[in-house]
A = this chain, B = another copy of it.
Amino acid sequence: MSELPRPTTARGEATRQKLLQAAEAEIGEKGYSRASVSSITKRAGVGQGTFYLYFPGKEDALRELVRHMGRELRHALSRATVGATSRTEIERRGFEAFLTFSLGHKNLYRVVMESQFVDESIYREYYQTLADAYAVGLRKAQASGEFREGDPETQAWALMGVAHFLGLRYTIWDHRVPPEHVMRTAFDMILHGLEAPG
């Protein structure tokens, strides 16, 4: 009723993974509230009750999924930006990696977005964690003189907004516009701003 029992055997761990994957697919496709635990267990090929051996309730599977997505995305961003020689380069590669990642994890991405309507704290935690890491990099780039001065946290949230909306619009909803095209315009704006020089 109150404890969250973690499986102790390998068999248990496998079942847990099956459930998590099934939950990702089910919730990603139908949305959290239309997704049913019984469908999840059916997809996972286990009995209904088995779900509750691994999660205290439906909401907790969602939480788990969002945390998982957060970890995966951060890893993807790390991998993509390793070895970059400038912050500008990091931004570009990170942006690209984000779009690729979202496209490759549409379901999980939907799950993250919807989490805000189930328990806002899950969603806030997800983005705040990203923003914090992001702000660190921006602060360094300002210190080194590469980037213009400005509050790094605000910038981080603004940039996440750009990425989120462009990702939603141009990769998740409709990817007929070539990504390079979107990237070019977006990056020009992000790096040099809207105003024409002079």
Chain B minimum-CB-distance residue to A154? B185
Given contacts A148-B197, A192-B195, 14 further A-B contacts (CB under 8 A): A31-B118, A88-B194, A110-B117, A147-B194, A147-B195, A148-B192, A148-B196, A151-B181, A151-B185, A158-B165, A158-B190, A161-B161, A161-B163, A191-B193
A138 to B185, CA, bound (A): 13
User: Which of B146, B158, B196 is the one whose CB lies under 8 Å from A162?
Assistant: B158
A194 contact set on B, CB distance < 8 A: 88, 91, 138, 141, 147-148, 155, 190-191
29 contacts between A and B (CB under 8 A): A32-B33, A33-B33, A113-B116, A113-B117, A114-B117, A117-B117, A141-B194, A147-B195, A147-B196, A148-B188, A148-B189, A148-B193, A148-B197, A150-B189, A151-B185, A154-B181, A154-B182, A154-B185, A155-B185, A155-B194, A157-B166, A158-B190, A161-B161, A161-B164, A164-B165, A190-B193, A191-B194, A191-B195, A192-B193
A175 contact set on B, CB distance < 8 A: none
Smallest beta-carbon distance A45→chain B, Å: 15
Counting CB contacts under 8 A, is A6 at the interface? Answer: no
A83 contact set on B, CB distance < 8 A: none
A195 contact set on B, CB distance < 8 A: 88, 146-148, 191-192
Q: What sequence of 0s and 1s flags, for each residue 129-159 of chain A, a beta carbon within 8 Å of any chain B beta carbon? A: 0010000001001000111101100110110
A151 contact set on B, CB distance < 8 A: 181-182, 185
CB atoms of B165 and A32 under 8 A apart:
no
How many copies the complex holds: the figure is: 4
Counting CB contacts under 8 A, is A169 at the interface? Answer: yes
Chain B minimum-CB-distance residue to A182? B154
A145 contact set on B, CB distance < 8 A: 196
Smallest beta-carbon distance A154→chain B, Å: 4
A155 contact set on B, CB distance < 8 A: 185-186, 189, 194
CB atoms of A157 and B181 under 8 A apart:
no
